[in-house]
């Protein structure tokens, strides 16, 4: 069997300030830059991404890989029309010129372009129009996919991650290979049952390290084992304003309906998904400092509303203001760090000045938030340049293991005994090596404020006293609402509740 393998990844927050142009798919900050052919296969080997998992499993099945291309961009607002059409052209070029027996696509599942609400569904429709109805097509999806009816219509099978933080991305690719093997063995599509939840689930309520999601995915695995089904539950990305933005559960196999009915009964009670403890900026800092005083360290504060993995730019400094207002550096000198702050101008200024210099800098950016207000202003002050690095970093934690990210000119600055990691690229802080790359030991910090929502749990849980209590979620003004009910929705139908009620 000859299997064409391709990939396109983008998670779109239609309320965010910055769009994903073609350059965003070629930078290689959060995801590998656009890559084609055998080089794509080699670059994926040993990396915790779905494509890598599919490749390894395909080799085990004895299939011949026909490499196409792979591209991904940091989550943001819409994919530009130009970028989408370039990506579409790449898909159609490979499905037209190559000879193959089936197709695997490494999708995210929550892409929205300037001119198309459902980018994955539209790409599948275009591909299907070329290869015909009988060509087997399977995809893997992110747990945050907004799965559409068009995606079901145009694929033979889909599978989604089962963990958040996404430590099973390669496993999802391997499971997609299993679905393809079942499809090739039977010669026909398996029975599929799917059902959408009628409410949005806040991202911060979706962690599979915590209840209720932890128990629901365990139930799904048990049902699959009992019924010989392969099932998925995509909790959705609740920041894409179009008519099919909502969680989706589905199952493949002769007993797909039985599995889906049992799973849906468990996940569809809305109040279990309501947001739990969320703190205002100053409250989060004061609480963290008090906990650190009690010997619990480090304490992690997630600046979740400016999370680059949620479509924000990672450039607001409201939490840095809160740290200075509450004298965090004076209480724990050189044991408080804030990052990753996307600020190319300040990074370049620090590089020009050199290590040891003191620069007069305006750090951060004031951006329009989801409710139309502005985030806190940049923080002007005297910053000491502590360290400089090129921002090339090989991730070592459980998520995206082995991926080399390229964040460009990076600087470790210090103001009032608080460290600030300033980067040129755009990426959430999810791996401890993103702190150690500037010469700091994260285990020696008392307080770490990171621009992330949940992915940080995968690598940082090992260094805190209690992951249930030592991770605080801060609601600091930014573009990514911690509560999807705070967005001004215009396209989401009234049949979908903006928050679990």
Give the per-residue pLDDT at 466.
87
Q: What is the DSSP letter of 461?
A: G
Report the DSSP beta bridge partners of residue 383: 359
Residue 103, SS3 per DSSP: strand
Give the per-residue pLDDT at 297.
81
Burial class, 441, CB count within 10 angstroms (exposed 0-12 / middle 13-18 / buried 19+): exposed
Location of structure tokens 């002050």? 381
Residue whose C-alpha is closest to residue 423's, from 25, 24, 21, 30:
30
Q: How far apart are the first and last CA of the chain?
A: 49
Report the DSSP beta bridge partners of residue 337: 419, 448
472's enclosing H/E stretch is strand 471-474
Binned average pLDDT, 10 residues per bin, the chain of 501 residues: 98 96 94 94 94 97 98 97 98 97 98 98 98 98 98 98 97 98 96 98 95 98 98 98 98 98 98 95 97 91 96 96 98 97 98 98 94 93 98 94 94 98 96 97 96 95 88 95 96 97 83
Give the per-residue pLDDT at 296.
85
Give the per-residue pLDDT at 455.
94
Q: What is the DSSP letter of 113?
A: B
Give the per-residue pLDDT at 286.
98
> Quick check: bond before 315 cis, omega within 30?
no
Alpha helices in 45-118 (DSSP H): 50-61, 81-97
- Provide the token pair at 466: 């209690």
What size, in residues, is the chain? 501
Give the per-residue pLDDT at 456.
95
- Provide the token pair at 274: 């309501």
Contact 331, 289 (CB under 8 A): yes
Residue whose C-alpha is closest to residue 397's, from 331, 450, 456:
456
d(Cα 266, Cα 170) in Å, to the nearest integer? Answer: 27
Contact 443, 274 (CB under 8 A): no
With a CB cutoff of 8 Å and minimum separation 6, the contacts of 301 are 284, 285, 288, 319, 447, 448, 449, 450, 472, 473, 474
Biggest distance spanned by C-alpha atoms of the chain: 68
- Provide the token pair at 406: 């390229």
């Amino acid at each position: 069997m000859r299997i064409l393998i391709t990939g396109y990844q983008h998670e779109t927050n239609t309320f965010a300030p910055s769009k994903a142009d073609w350059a965003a798919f070629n930078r290689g900050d959060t995801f590998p830059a656009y890559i084609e052919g055998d080089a794509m296969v080699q670059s994926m080997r040993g990396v915790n991404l779905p494509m890598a998992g599919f490749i390894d499993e395909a080799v085990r099945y004895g299939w011949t890989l026909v490499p196409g291309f792979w591209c991904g961009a940091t989550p943001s607002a819409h994919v530009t029309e130009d970028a989408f059409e370039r990506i579409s052209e790449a898909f159609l070029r490979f499905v037209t010129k190559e000879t193959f027996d089936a197709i695997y696509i490494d999708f995210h599942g929550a892409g929205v372009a300037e001119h198309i609400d459902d980018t994955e569904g539209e790409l599948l429709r275009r591909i299907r129009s070329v290869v015909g109805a009988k060509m087997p097509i399977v995809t893997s999806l992110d747990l945050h996919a907004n799965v559409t009816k068009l995606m079901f219509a145009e694929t033979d099978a889909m599978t989604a991650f089962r963990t958040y933080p996404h430590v099973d991305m390669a496993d999802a690719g391997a499971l997609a290979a299993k679905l393809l093997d079942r499809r090739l063995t039977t010669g026909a599509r398996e029975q599929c049952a799917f059902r959408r939840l009628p409410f949005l689930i806040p991202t911060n309520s979706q962690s599979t390290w915590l209840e209720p999601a932890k128990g629901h995915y365990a139930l799904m695995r048990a049902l699959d084992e009992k019924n010989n089904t392969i099932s998925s539950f995509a909790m959705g990305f609740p920041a894409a304003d179009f008519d099919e933005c909502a969680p989706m559960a589905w199952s493949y196999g002769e007993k797909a309906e039985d599995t889906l009915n049992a799973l849906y009964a468990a996940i569809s009670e809305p109040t279990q998904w309501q947001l739990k403890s969320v703190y205002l900026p100053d409250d989060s800092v004061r609480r963290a400092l008090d906990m650190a005083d009690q010997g619990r360290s480090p304490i992690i504060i997630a600046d979740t509303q400016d999370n680059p993995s949620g479509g924000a730019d990672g450039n607001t400094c409201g939490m840095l203001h809160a740290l200075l207002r509450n004298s965090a550096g004076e209480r724990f000198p050189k044991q408080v760090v804030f990052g990753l702050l996307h600020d190319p101008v300040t990074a370049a200024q620090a590089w020009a000045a050199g290590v040891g210099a003191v620069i007069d800098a305006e750090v951060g950016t004031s951006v329009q938030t989801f409710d139309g207000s502005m985030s806190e202003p940049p923080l002007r002050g005297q910053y000491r340049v502590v360290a400089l690095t090129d921002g090339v970093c090989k991730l070592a934690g459980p998520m995206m293991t082995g991926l080399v990210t390229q964040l460009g000119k990076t600087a470790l600055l210090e103001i009032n005994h608080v460290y600030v990691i300033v980067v040129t690229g755009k990426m959430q802080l999810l791996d401890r090596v993103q702190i150690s790359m500037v010469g700091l030991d994260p285990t020696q910090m008392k307080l770490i404020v990171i621009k992330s929502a949940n992915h940080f749990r995968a690598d940082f849980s090992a260094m805190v006293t209690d992951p249930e209590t030592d991770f605080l979620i801060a609601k600091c003004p930014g573009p990514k609402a911690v509560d999807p009910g705070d967005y001004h929705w215009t396209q989401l139908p009234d049949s979908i509740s903006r928050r679990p009620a």
